Amino acid sequence: MQTIKAAVCHAFNEPLVIEDVQLAPPAAGEVEVTLDAVAICHSDISYASGAWGGFLPAVYGHEAAGIVTAVGSSTDGFKVGDAVVVTLIRACGSCPSCSGGQPTICETPYDTVKGPLKTSKGEPLEQAMACGAFAEKVVVSHRQIVKIPENMPKDVASLLSCGVITGVGAAVNAAGLRAGQDVVVIGAGGVGLNAIQGARIAGARRIVAVDMTEEKLSIAKEFGATHGVLATSKAPWKDAYNALGGRGADAVLITVGAIPAYDQAVRYLGRGGKAVMIGMPHSGDTASYEPVILAALGQGLIGSKMGDVVIQRDIPWMIDLYEQGRLKLDELISGRWSLAQINEAIADTKTGSAKRNVIVFDRA
Ligand SMILES: [Zn+2]
Ligand SMILES: [Zn+2]
């Protein structure tokens, strides 16, 4: 066991506490990564507010990048010194989902409370989302990490771990967009902007962003939206039809957690269109729709976790897109903060104006 600093949640809706915690060395198949950057995602905030329940105390944080500083046995060639991104996708590699090419819905349970973290007193501490990356170091499965170029800035790279793969993957993998199709993206936040980029990369004809403010719609246009519709309008789907030349969309990507967005999503669809649920509403929230319309118009309603990505395939592809200037990452960062400032960074993210706030570690 070694002692590291982490931001610990002791009670839901209370500030995180920066304190010493214990981290076990990597077991077989695991690596230790010393972090340079971890971004704050709305999922971290939902967990910290108790929206999805879970064990306490816990360490959240799951969009990270750093350097491998120790390896267990059988880590598939990863070695000390490798620059990597760390994701929450702890896939076993051999269950029916993993074998079928869907590691994001791996069926092998992993007990996050019995993971590598303990409090300074040796008591249980949850490694939330199999990451626990609001900390100086993490110990994770080698299947959760992907090598990145050594010279790629880690704050930028950390975004690939969740928001970027979720948004781009939803457009390309889950919606299966083809060139020339029309898309509506509900929400122009961290994931929404990436769904917009994904639709652009997939060759979408028209991309309609739907959000609450003109400011966010104008940011959406910088990321590739061709039209913007205010969600506050009386019937925003009608505005979207107008933007799409009088027809519904081939795909609607719902990137927010608010239930009205789910209730309305199918209204944006054209014949044969698909609504892809990407955002993460609170547990127990329900949405409603008219099944007969979906049946009559041949429409689909599907869920997508983490953009249905295979990180070993998709993250190197996205790094190439970034290096070719076809995927915006630098522009997604709205602020950089220290671990000591994490509660301020979370508060700033909660205002909804932020794209991504990133915690940057000082590795003196
Ligand atoms: Zn996330
Ligand atoms: Zn599996």
Q: Which helix (H) or strand (E) holds 242?
A: helix 236-243
Once rounded to an integer, what is the mean pLDDT over residues 14-31?
Answer: 98
Cα–Cα–Cα angle for 357, 359, 364, rounded to 5 degrees: 155
Q: Which ligand is nearest to the CA of 143?
A: 2
The predicted structure's pLDDT at residue 363: 72
CA of 91 to the centre of ligand 2 (A): 5
Q: How many Å apart are CA 278 and CA 6, to the nearest integer?
A: 29
Length of the chain in terms of residues written: 364
How many angstroms is it from 40 CA to the middle of ligand 1?
8
What is the CA(336)–ligand 2 centre distance, in A? 35
99 alpha carbon, closest ligand: 2
Average pLDDT over residues 316-335: 96
- Mean per-residue pLDDT, 273-277: 97
Nearest to residue 61, comparing CAs of 362, 347, 346, 315? 346
Tell me, in angstroms, the distance from the centre of ligand 2 to residue 172's CA: 22
pLDDT in tens, 91-124: 999 999 999 999 999 999 999 999 999 999 999 9
- Measured in Å, residue 348 CA sits from the centre of ligand 2 at 36
CA–centroid distance for 104 within its chain = 12
Q: What pLDDT sits at residue 190?
A: 87
CA of 232 to the centre of ligand 1 (A): 26
Instruction: Please give the distance, rounded to the nearest whole angstrom, from the Cα atom of residue 163 to the centre of ligand 1.
Output: 6
Residue 364's pLDDT band (cuts 50, 70, 90): low
Centre of ligand 2 from the C-alpha of residue 198, in Å: 26
Ligand closest to CA 60 = 1
Distance 164 CA to ligand 1 centre (A): 9
In terms of Cα–Cα distance, which of 315, 31, 265, 12 is closest to 147?
315
Q: What is the pLDDT of residue 362?
A: 85
Shortest-distance ligand to the CA of residue 163: 1
In order of 40, 138, 273, 362, the CA distances from 338 in angstroms are: 12, 17, 44, 8
